[in-house]
Amino acid sequence: MTVSASVEVKNKLGMHARPAMMLFELVQGFDAHVLLRNEEGVEADADSVIGMLMLDSAQGKRVEVQAEGPQEEAALAAVVALFTSGFNEE
C-alpha cells in the first residue's frame, strides 16, 4: 500500500541544499521508500539530494509526498512534519 499527502513549501528559500539534506537524513531512518512530486509532475526520490534539488520547489508551492513500505505511515508523518516546520528555517 502507498500513503500520500500534499504539503506546502513554507521556508523562504524553498527546496535548497540544506532542506534537501535534512529530508535525505530523515528518510534514512525509516524502512520506506519516499517519493516527492512537484506541481509540474517532476518526481524525486527522497534518498537523492540532487533529485530533490531538481524539483525546483519555491516557497508557496505544493509537493505531493508518497511513502511505501513497512514504515510508510511513520515516514510520511515525519516528512510532513519537517515540511510543516519550514525545515526550521523561520
Cα angle 72-74-79, degrees, rounded to a multiple of 5 = 90
16 classed as catalytic: yes
Catalytic option among 10, 16, 33, 61: 16
How many angstroms separate the CA atoms of 12 and 5, rounded? 21
Whether the CB-CB separation of 23 and 88 falls below 8 Å is answered with no
- By annotation, the residues acting in catalysis are 16
